[in-house]
Structures are given as C-alpha cells and as structure tokens.
Chain A
Amino acid sequence: MPEPQTTRGSFWERHGRSWAVTAMSIVLALLVGAIVMIVSDPEVVTQYAYLFTAPQLPLGASWAKVSSAYSALFFGAVGSPYALAMTTAQAAPLICAGLGVGLGFRAGLFNIGAQGQAVIAAILAAWVGFALPMPPVLHLVVAVLAGLVGGAVWGGIVGFLKARTGAHEVIVTIMMNYIATGILAWLLTTDAFLRPGSRDPISPPVEPTAIFPAFYGQFHLGFVVALLAAALTWWLIERSTIGFAIRAVGANPRAAATAGMSVGRITIVTMVLSGLLAGLAGTQFALGPGGQGVPTPLSAGLVGTVGFDAITVALLGRSSPIGIVFAGLLFGGLHSGGLAMQSMAGTPVTMAMLLQALIVLFVAAPGLVSAITPYLRAPKNKSLVGGQA
C-alpha cells in the first residue's frame, strides 16, 4: 500500500504503528472468537446461570472450552514439526496469490480475479502433470511454466481490456472467474480430463515426476518457490524501473502519464504479473505433494477460495511482499490449526474462518482498533487500498 512518504516522523510512525495495529487486531480477534465460542455452546451458556452462586462452574467451563480450542489451534499450526510443515504448505498458495493481489494494489488495480487465474493455472499445470509424461525435473518445470503462462494470460486479458477499452478490472476479473470455473467444469466432462472408465468429474492423479518434492511432511519445494517469488516481487516493486512505474501509476496515473509513462502499458504488465503470481498459487494446489503421499487430483474446488483469501492476505500484509509472507503464514497456520481444532477440540471449521474474518475486519478498520487501544491511534485519512481502484 502506498503510504504517504513523509521525510519527517520516526520509524515507529512509519512502520511500528501499523504493525502494532495488526498485532492488536489478532489479539482482539482471538478475544472476540473466544466470546463467540462461549456463547455458541449451549452447554457453557447454561452454566452462566450459576455465575454468582458457583462461579467456578461457568468460568471453568468457558476456560475449558476456549483453552482446548485455542491450544488445538496452536498445536495444529505450530505445535509440532509436522504441523509447521503443514502450515508452510497451506501458506504457500496464499503467499503467491497474495503477492499477485498486492502487486495489483500497488498499481491501483483491484485484481479480484486471482481465483480464476489460479483455476486456469491449476488446469494447465495438472494437465501437463498427468497427460504429458516427461523425465523428472523437466516435467515439474514444464508443468509450473504451463501454470504460470495460464495465469499470466488470464490476468493479461483483463489488463488489455482495461488499457484498451477502459473496462473496469473489478467487473472483468469477476466475470473471468466465472469463465474459468465454467471451463474447469466443462473440461471435467471430457475424456481428455477424466480417468479411464470413469465419468466422475475428477482427473487422473498427477505423475510423481511433476510433483513438488517434499522435504519433510508437507513442507515442499513449493513453499521455497513462494518465498523466492516474494523476494523477486520485492525487488521488482522497490528496485526495478518497472516497479517504479507501477508505483507511480498507483499513486497518480495522470502524473505518471505526464511524466511520460504509458499508463496502459503499465496496466497490462501489472495484470500479467499479478495473474502470473496468482497462477503460481494454482500450480501449488495442482502440483503440491498432498498428504498421505498422493497428490490432490484436479476437480472442482481444487483451489478452494484462494483468490479471495489472497485479497485478505494482501490487505493484512499491507501489499508489501514481506508483510504478505507473514500474513500468508498466519492464515496458513490458522487454516491448518483450524483443521486440528475440529478433530481435537470439536470446534467447527467455521470458527477458524471467523477468526480470519475478524482479523481482517479489525485490520481494515484501524479506527476501531485505536478506539479500543487509544495509544495506537493512527493518523487520519489513510486508505487501505492505494491509488485509484
């Protein structure tokens, strides 16, 4: 997010406050989540009738409920090497797609199409993975490249339409999401994408030669690729000429045009790169090693809602690559911890989603956080999505 660059102000004012607000948002979300957990469990709520006669009953029940859920969340996210590996696997696609959306924000583009870009990428990567036998290493490289090209083209179409016709990228990307989902549904009725002898809409498994090799548990090469993508994106935005142009267009397209930059060209390039990164997220799903030693075959819902989760990751990471890596890890941890919360504490998976939503809500409403914690009060007139969306 392009913050107003002021030469004055301490480091705290420039960075510390926003990080503190983010941290406070997480704490507040956990608190609200705890209250929701207590109120939504009739067994705990009924205990509150004894609050004054036998306070140990309601408080004990609440504590048992909340502590078991949050310790399961913690255990499932970072509690063991296996859990940590799981968290990195969950975070990898979120980081990639988050980088894509974040890059769009820097140019003032709201790419809601990461979902469709990831779907197209997953289709191509999976197809190369199961239909084109190749030697190891080469197979993985070709499959990943196919996915990247798919995502870049899907995003590039939007950039082209915006640059040449002025079509709003929000509308176009939403439509492109529908088209991508429709293409996947249709492909899964064709013989080329189905298992021999079966009509169930699910593809053959990807060949082992095209799978990201796992180092430990679910910790695999894809996560390393995601970190590399973050480093490259940082370099691109902060150190390259094209990144300067992207930021300039995001800050003020008219001024950028006056300075001799082609706003249309930058729009196309940004959408291509944004789609490429979202496409990398799609390949993470298609080529990830999965648990149980079997890859997840291509079928409806393979990429989940990564494109929309990526928007929240980019917002939480404030569109900076390093922030997005941490936001992706946080959401990846919340997701794998959320799965553990279900199996260990019997808390519904919706609880983990609620926590994610609450964190984003508090981050997106800094005024709310600073009202509760006045010492974090932020300067006024700050928008979360930079530039002209």
Chain B
Amino acid sequence: MKKTLIGSGLALALVLGGCAQPPSASPSAGGSNTPAPGATPSDFLACMVSDNGGFDDKSFNETSHKGLTDAKTQLLIKTKEVQSTTNADYAPNVQNMIDAKCDVIVTVGFKIADVTLAAAKKNPDTKFAIVDAAYTDPKTGKNTAPANLKGLLFNSAEPSYLAGYAAASLSQSGKVGTFGGAKIPSVTSFMSGYAQGVEKYNQDKGKNVQVVGWNTKSKDGTFIPSGNFDDVAGGKNVSTQLVNQGVDVIMPVAGPAGEGALQVAQGSGGKVAAVWVDTDGYVSQPKYKAAIATSVGKAMDVAVFDAIKAAKDDQFTNEPYTGTIANKGVYLAPFHDYDAKVSAETKSELDKLQADIASGAIKVEA
C-alpha cells in the first residue's frame, strides 16, 4: 500500500514535471562568470588538494579554494579539486592529480609540505604551489624549493598590529583581548602583532590599554582548552571570561570556533566589539556584522590566483611569496558599521602606520 502511494506520487511528479521541451540549441556554458578581459578558454588544468580540514573549513582551505574558483572563471581554465580526510590521503591525492595531468597543483597547509616537496622533485614538468608553507634552510634561511615549487606564506602579524592599534582606540574599558584556537605559529603571529599594535597606541598616546590573552614577553597567551578549531562553545566560554575581566574588544584567532566571540559580542548590546581574522568578517559572517569592528585579512585567494596565473603565463618561479601589507597580501578590512566610531584622527594614524609598515620603518614581530 505504502509502496504504491509513494510510487504513484513519484509518477505524478514526473508526469507534471517531465513535459518540458528541451531547448533546440544548448546555451553556451557559463553564467555569472566574469572572465578577465582578453581571456580565452584554455585547456590549462589547475588542481587543488585540501588538507584534512576540507574546503568548507571557513578558514585557509576555503579561502585558498576561492583562489582556484576565481582562476576558473576569470582565466577560463579547467580545474580539479580533491579533499583529504586524513593525513594519509595527502600522498594519494597529490598522485591522483599528477595522474590527471594537472599543469599546476596547489596544496593547502603545512601538513602536505613533505608530500608536495617529494612530488615536485619527482615531477619537474608539473608546477606546484603550497599555501602556508615554504622551504628554507633553517640555518641560512635560503630557499631550498625545487624550481617548480612555490611556497605561499602570509605575514599576519602586520595587519594584526593595525587591528591592535584600532582596538585600543575603540576600547572604553582600557582592556582589549585576544585568544587562539591552539598554540601554533599561524595563530600566535596574529596575537603577537595585535599586542604590539596596542603597545604602539599606548606609547604614542600616553595611555595604558592592557592586552588580556597574550603576553609579549613570554610569547604565550589564552587558547581554547580543547585546542579544537571547531569548538564554538569553547570559543564562547573563553570570550565570556575575557569580557568578565573587563575586555571590550576581542580578536578570536580560532577559525570557526571564533564564532563564539562573535556571539558574545552580538549579545552584549554594543558594549563588546569583535575583530575577525582571515577574511573580512562583515562579508563572511553577515549574521554578526553589527558586532564586527574590523577584520585582519589574509588574501590567500589572491596569492593562489596569482600562482595559477603565473604558471599559466609561463612566469612561474620558485621564489617564496610572502603576503605583506606592502604587497597587499594581508590587509586590515574596512570598519563598515564601526566607521563612525573610529575617529578621523585614528584613521589617519592607521594610514601612517600602514605606510611605515609597508616601507619597513616599523617592523612587526611574528
């Protein structure tokens, strides 16, 4: 009885929906794509391998993946992508991409560094780029990557310095906070830059804004106890503790778990503001845009796009790329809704600091 009901329902749906006439000529492929002027469709094949976070990690895999899709639509090239679920997947995934005859293979994350290096040495005709890793001799600091492998790094301390300065200027309570997802360099560099920016504000303004969650001397700070970048509840707990200590600007450096800080800021009725990281949170976390004062961005998508474009245009080098304020590979996002709350004075000071960082007059330690 049930089966016949389901069957007749299905048949009905097909009868109702299945009577359209196919278009006589198939429309050309593409839709809202906006190819770069002068781009012609090409058989160039760009491929990407994620680390075990997957392309939907709201963090570096996702941003890097946007670089691949941008390249597809703007350069009119072909793309392939594979996700890894365990570390043991990296080698077979990279090998599958080599077998698929990719022209350039972008791997995402330092965990794939060994496999990428070995594959690049074995396949000198394929170009490789890796996000968040580079190959340097620990003693001399020289680039050791083979000619077909480019490392893509990001100096996130520089824009975090600007964010720290802005946060200190926004703080009413005289306390700003930060916390990380885990104590790893790609996280602590944000926190370190942020604290240095606050110090700069104190020096220039004769103020004493405190940083809770990062100690510049011991190079240690507050992290989510679970060390899990998906632990939103943990991020919320840590944020609540920071607020209880009087903090009114929080910068979470914890990937998706940072949403906990946005929830706390959103729920504070405008008392607490958040600084998002990796992407412009006003755009990527629209639910919380009212609580986001600014963001510290890493333009991984641009770096990946540029690496793919260079490979396509035969301008690929093994020179490691480091995103900086100077080359706009990292940036302080606009203030958006907070624009009116940031004084014109602070804005001009930030412009000056940005120029000084770009010129090298100010050095920010990671």
Contact = CB atoms under 8 A, between A and B. Distances in A.
A213 interface: no
Interface stretch (B181-189, B263-271, B281-289): B181-189
Given A48-B14, A292-B122, A302 B138 contact: no
B85 A304 contact: yes
Given A49-B18, A50-B18, A196-B138, A305 B86 contact: yes
Nearest to A349: B83
B183 A52 contact: no
Given A52-B18, A185-B182, A205-B114, A342 B91 contact: no
Interface in A52-78: 52-54, 57-58, 76
Interface in A316-354: 335-336, 339-340, 342-344, 346, 348-349, 353
Contact of B100 (A86, A201, A343, A349): A343
A292 B82 contact: no
Nearest to A284: B88
Nearest to B189: A199
Given A52-B15, A201-B184, A297 B83 contact: no
A141 interface: no
A292 B94 contact: yes
A53 B22 contact: yes
Interface string B103-131: 00000001101110111001000000000
A53 B86 contact: no
A54 B294 CA distance: 54
Contacts of B111: 202, 299, 301
A336 B91 CA distance: 11
Interface residues of A, number: 53
A342 B87 contact: no
Nearest to A341: B82
Among A57, A205, A299, A353, find the residue whose CB has the most chain B CB atoms closer than 10 A. Answer: A299
Interface string A172-194: 00000010001001000100000
Contact of B115 (A200, A288, A291, A335): A291
B309 interface: no
Given A185-B182, A340-B96, A342-B83, A49 B17 contact: yes
A296 interface: yes
Interface string B151-194: 00000000000000000000000000000001111100000000
B86 A291 contact: no
A342 B81 contact: yes
B239 interface: no
Contacts of B226: 178, 182
Interface in B5-38: 14-15, 17-22
A241 interface: no
Contacts of A218: 92
A304 to B, nearest CB: 3
Interface in A61-109: 76, 86, 89-90
Given A48-B14, A49-B17, A339 B92 contact: yes
Contact of B92 (A200, A291, A348): A291
A197 B47 CA distance: 31
Contacts of B90: 291, 296
B183 A291 contact: no
B97 interface: yes
B39 to A, nearest CB: 22
A378 to B, nearest CB: 20
Interface string A298-320: 01011111100000000000000
A31 to B, nearest CB: 15
A185 B182 CA distance: 8
A285 B86 CA distance: 10
B196 interface: no
A197 B138 contact: yes
A39 interface: no
A74 to B, nearest CB: 15
B87 A302 contact: yes
B319 interface: no
B363 to A, nearest CB: 19
A291 B22 contact: no
B86 A302 contact: yes
The bracket for how many chain B residues form the interface is 35 or more
A290 B88 CA distance: 7
Contact of A342 (B15, B20, B82, B182): B82
Most buried by A among B20, B87, B93: B87
B103 to A, nearest CB: 15
Given A198-B138, A346-B80, A349-B82, A57 B22 contact: yes
Contact of B88 (A52, A54, A304, A342): A304
Given A291-B95, A342-B81, A185 B118 contact: no
B279 interface: no
Identify which of A205, A296, A299, A335 gathers the most chain B CB atoms within 10 Å of its CB: A296
Given A200-B184, A339-B93, A51 B17 contact: yes
B246 to A, nearest CB: 29
B146 interface: no
Given A52-B18, A53-B21, A54-B22, A290 B91 contact: yes
A291 B114 contact: no
A27 interface: no
A339 B96 contact: yes
A294 B118 contact: yes
Given A339-B93, A343-B93, A200 B185 contact: yes
A293 interface: yes
B230 interface: no
Nearest to B366: A199
A293 B86 CA distance: 17
A49 B14 CA distance: 8
A343 B86 contact: no
Contacts of A205: 114
B114 A297 contact: yes
A294 B114 contact: yes
Interface in A250-301: 285, 288, 290-294, 296-297, 299, 301
B221 interface: no
A342 B21 CA distance: 33
Interface of A: 48-54, 57-58, 76, 86, 89-90, 178, 182, 185, 189, 196-202, 205, 218, 285, 288, 290-294, 296-297, 299, 301-306, 335-336, 339-340, 342-344, 346, 348-349, 353
Interface of B: 14-15, 17-22, 47, 52, 80-97, 99-100, 110-111, 113-115, 117-119, 122, 133, 138-139, 182-186, 226-227
13 contacts: A48-B14, A50-B20, A52-B14, A53-B20, A53-B22, A57-B22, A58-B18, A76-B96, A200-B185, A201-B184, A285-B87, A339-B96, A349-B84
